[in-house]
Amino acid sequence: MGDELHNRLLKQSDGTKDAILYKIIESLVCSICHDYMFVPMMTPCGHNYCYGCLNTWFASNTQKELACPQCRSDIVIIPALNTTLQQYLSFILDRLGSEDDEPFKKLLITKIKEEDDYKLDKEKDTLFEKVFKNSALAVADDSDDGITRCSNCHWELDPDEVEDGNVCPHCNARIRNYAGGHNEFDEEEYSEGELDEIRESMQRPRENRLASANPFANRDNFSSEEDSSTEEELMREHIPQGRWARSHNRSIAVDTSDDEDDEDELEEGEEEMDSDLKDFIEDDDDGDEDGSRRNMVLSALNSRRVIITDDEEEEGQRHITGEEEDHDSDFYEHNDEGFASGDSLDEDRKVVAEVQSSSDSEDRSISYPSSNDVGEKDEHDTEELDDPQPKRQKRFRVVLGDSDDE
């Protein structure tokens, strides 16, 4: 049976053989660049493209999911090298080529270059710019329990919690389709008291940072507090919970990157802080790639959020603010011992309100203590950027990179 086609082929006319061969060579042509696939990558849906073409397509993809160009199915698993096709092409090149033929030489040069590009990315473990390693989708199965989960590890995600640039609290994958609940923040939906709570909850990471950045702060006192809360949060990491308070996600995202020192943790807190603020501020000065991606995801988000009912959102919100209040009161106790300036914190909070109403990011810089550590982290304050975005981005990648080990 296995050699039936082999035997038949030998008996065919040249015309039939040519037609078969032509069809095979056609199948080695990429539908994106219309050229031969020297590094054919096969998607889970069975379609093949050049590694380079697929990579470019993913990078320029403006939809929330990565889609197959031919059948539009979501590509959730990293495409694999199709060695069979690659060998066909090599075999055909071996038989058909001659070294002194210019167009053929060009083909060989392209082949070597594309293979090298792939090899290099594979060695560096940066295939497809790590989009599959570092990211996951937030998915909810309404026919099942309807709870939003990380597509990577199935950990439950808090719909109010997951923002772009945010990571799954369990596997650390960046959630790429889900930009969180407050990007279209409507003040009128909240009472004045609730608004205060929200502003307060936004303040926490900044307060921590301010306190530790303050050279006059009582460091011992503060760090012991920090340690105990970190431990507590590490413990919670292992308890599955339906709702994650803001502080959890923030800290856990940091804690899993356990080699980072305290300062890094705080910067990471600021990272989240930034995205929180973005929900309030109509931000159009995202020059960096994170920013453009964030915008993409933000715009793609709303349809996805249909799965969450308003009730759930509010419930989550209350939960969060309650949690934050506890932390805040802890913090003020320490304030009374006199190390962090309570005034500046209040001022900061007021400023957030101002920013919210005026969208004027200049105002915020005014109330900052003139510490470099503070200015450095605010991507809106160009004047105070001692060490601006590149460093920030790098750190971001470091955190993401750690997820690879898991």
Partner 1 sequence: MASLPKRIIKETEKLVSDPVPGITAEPHDDNLRYFQVTIEGPEQSPYEDGVFELELYLPDDYPMEAPKVRFLTRIYHPNIDRLGRICLDVLKTNWSPALQIRTVLLSIQALLASPNPNDPLANDVAEDWIKNEEGAKAKAREWTRSFAKKKPE
Q: Which residues bind partner 1 (CB under 8 A)?
A: 31-35, 53, 56-57, 60, 62-63, 67, 69-70, 72
User: For residues 79 and 165, which CB has a smaller minimum distance to partner 1 in the complex?
Assistant: 79
What's the min distance (Å) between Cβ of 329 and partner 1? 48
What's the min distance (Å) between Cβ of 30 and partner 1? 9
What's the min distance (Å) between Cβ of 93 and partner 1? 17
Which residue reads 């790639």 in tokens? 289
What's the min distance (Å) between Cβ of 105 and partner 1? 16
User: For residues 34 and 394, which CB has a smaller minimum distance to partner 1 in the complex?
Assistant: 34
Task: Print burial letters for 131-142: b (CB count within 10 Å at least 16), e (below 16).
Answer: bbbbbbbbbbee
What's the min distance (Å) between Cβ of 129 and partner 1? 15
User: For residues 33 and 366, which CB has a smaller minimum distance to partner 1 in the complex?
Assistant: 33
Of residues 255, 229, 260, 222, the one with CA closest to residue 324: 229
What's the min distance (Å) between Cβ of 62 and partner 1? 8
CB 277: neighbour CB atoms within 10 A?
20
User: For residues 101 and 187, which CB has a smaller minimum distance to partner 1 in the complex?
Assistant: 101
User: For residues 73 and 218, which CB has a smaller minimum distance to partner 1 in the complex?
Assistant: 73
User: For residues 55 and 151, which CB has a smaller minimum distance to partner 1 in the complex?
Assistant: 55
What's the min distance (Å) between Cβ of 68 and partner 1? 8
User: For residues 72 and 105, which CB has a smaller minimum distance to partner 1 in the complex?
Assistant: 72
User: For residues 68 and 273, which CB has a smaller minimum distance to partner 1 in the complex?
Assistant: 68
What's the min distance (Å) between Cβ of 355 and partner 1? 33
User: For residues 19 and 33, which CB has a smaller minimum distance to partner 1 in the complex?
Assistant: 33
What's the min distance (Å) between Cβ of 59 and partner 1? 8
How far apart are alpha carbons 367 and 346 in whole angstroms?
A: 10
